[in-house]
């Protein structure tokens, strides 16, 4: 996607997304045979409900039909929330992952799996799970020390309501 088209799409779509109290995370255009696929990824601190994606999809479709930003060729529009395995790259992603287990690729080449306890402007406070019956330990990590980060899927994690009971 050309920078000009990307900028025009972002300018056209951001007000619609913001009106739903969502963040426009990603705009991606790809080819699927003769058709193009326009994928819009949105998110919020509370997550995104399916009905909200459907409403936003209709609004985006109408707005795109009114403009020439996609040209005359056919395309398929997909509006979705990010998957659970999406990389954490923005400060708000780390804030939203508070309480979650995250796999960090460190800038020094190391790797760390820890739960995010808190996030500020400079970095994060983490809880590193204990190994072989040992207690968990606390650790502070700066954003500058993180090369990549991704939420780890936990199938047996108790939710907060279960922990409080």
**pLDDT score, position 131:** 82
**pLDDT score, position 60:** 94
Angle among Cα 90, 95, 59 to the nearest 5 degrees reads 65
**pLDDT score, position 13:** 93
**pLDDT score, position 20:** 93
Q: Which of 15, 16, 71 is nearest to 38 (CA)?
A: 71
**pLDDT score, position 162:** 44
Running along the chain, 165 residues long, what does each successive block of 10 average in pLDDT?
78 93 91 86 88 94 90 88 84 91 94 95 93 88 95 72 45
Alpha-carbon radius of gyration of the chain: 19
**pLDDT score, position 86:** 80
């Amino acid at each position: 996607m050309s920078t000009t088209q990307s900028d025009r799409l972002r300018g056209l779509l951001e007000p619609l997304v913001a009106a739903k109290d969502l963040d426009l995370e990603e705009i991606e255009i790809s080819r699927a045979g003769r058709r193009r696929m326009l994928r819009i990824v949105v998110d919020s601190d509370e997550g995104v409900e399916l009905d909200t994606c459907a409403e936003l999809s209709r609004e985006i479709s109408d707005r795109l039909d009114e403009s020439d930003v996609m040209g005359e060729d056919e395309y398929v529009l997909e509006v979705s929330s990010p998957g659970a395995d999406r990389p954490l790259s923005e400060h708000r992603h780390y804030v939203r992952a508070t309480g979650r287990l995250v796999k960090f690729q460190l800038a020094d080449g190391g790797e760390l799996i820890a739960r995010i306890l808190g996030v500020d402007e400079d970095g994060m406070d983490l809880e590193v799970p204990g190994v072989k019956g040992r207690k968990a330990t606390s650790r502070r990590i700066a954003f500058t020390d993180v090369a990549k980060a991704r939420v780890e899927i936990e199938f047996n994690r108790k939710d907060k309501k279960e922990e409080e009971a």
